[in-house]
Chains A and B, each alone.
Chain A
Amino acid sequence: MTLKNGVLDPQGKAIGHALNGLGFGSVGEVRQGKVIDLDLNETDATKAKASLKDMCEKLLANTVIEKYEIEIR
């Protein structure tokens, strides 16, 4: 989950400033987010993805401000 484009990310900004301060001059915009790892009792990847999408919409992400990506491993 990361904040949608256009939504101000003050934490990302602070991290960017700190990296610039450490001499990482090439750092431009920084967006901060979070990762949630889930074990799913489901072998069908399509079903797993649909279920995860539902979880993101209902709880894991606040779609007013956040976007999400799903990766199955």
Chain B
Amino acid sequence: MKSAVIVFPASNCDRDAATALEEMTGRKTEMVWHRESTLPDVDLVVLPGGFSYGDYLRCGAMANQSAVMKAVKAHAARGGAVLGICNGFQVLTESGLLPGALMRNAGLKFVCKPVTLRVEESQSAFTRKYEKGQSVTFPVAHGEGNYYADDETLNRLEGEGRVMFRYQDNPNGSARDIAGILNEKRNVLGLMPHPERVVDPITGGTDGRALFQSLIEALS
């Protein structure tokens, strides 16, 4: 599986994502600066965590206007896989690649801690190496992870099996405990927790490995 990580000004999990990808795939990951208008030939594009453009206007709003996002949208439209983690999830909702929006945490505090998630679906390129219903622990680190969508959208997400991860103890007020969702074509995943931070026991766990193993199996 060939992968690229997009680097926006003030991305800060870009190298964590690249390290995780390189560890899991054994191949070099391409780092792509936000001003690029084309992507290298890759199977997976990762939008990393961080505070792109200082979270100006709204989290992810400015990043969505960057040149590289046109290429990311074209990649997604061709059926290419896109993984948005944390700020990357915010960019995906701002871009319309995923429905809904991520709002200020209900408790108004930045939440930085490991959280337990339930894997809701194993029928996807991102989760096929997990068991449906499995509990996993990923860290979260965000101030604006409170997922919002109207009831009709939430019902559709649930009805179509597009809620991939749910919080077992909701840290941010997200609607229906949603931590991660898929797009309709099932090739774009956005989630607030950080699977790339749990691929090596030295950083506190390995529950994120199966997400990357799923992608490798599906995309190689």
Contacts and interface: CB of A to CB of B under 8 A. Distances in A.
A61 B58 CA distance: 9
A3 B106 CA distance: 14
B65 interface: yes
A64 B149 contact: yes
B105 interface: yes
A8 B173 contact: yes
Interface residues of B, number: 19
Consensus secondary structure, chain A interface = mixed
A8 B93 CA distance: 18
B65 A64 contact: no
A50 B107 CA distance: 38
Contact of A64 (B57, B101, B105, B146): B101
A34 B107 CA distance: 20
Interface string A1-40: 0010001101100100000000000000000000000000
B178 to A, nearest CB: 14
A61 B189 CA distance: 24
Interface of A: 3, 7-8, 10-11, 14, 59-60, 62, 64-65
16 contacts: A3-B103, A7-B148, A10-B107, A10-B146, A11-B104, A14-B108, A59-B57, A59-B61, A59-B65, A60-B57, A62-B58, A64-B99, A64-B100, A64-B101, A64-B148, A64-B149
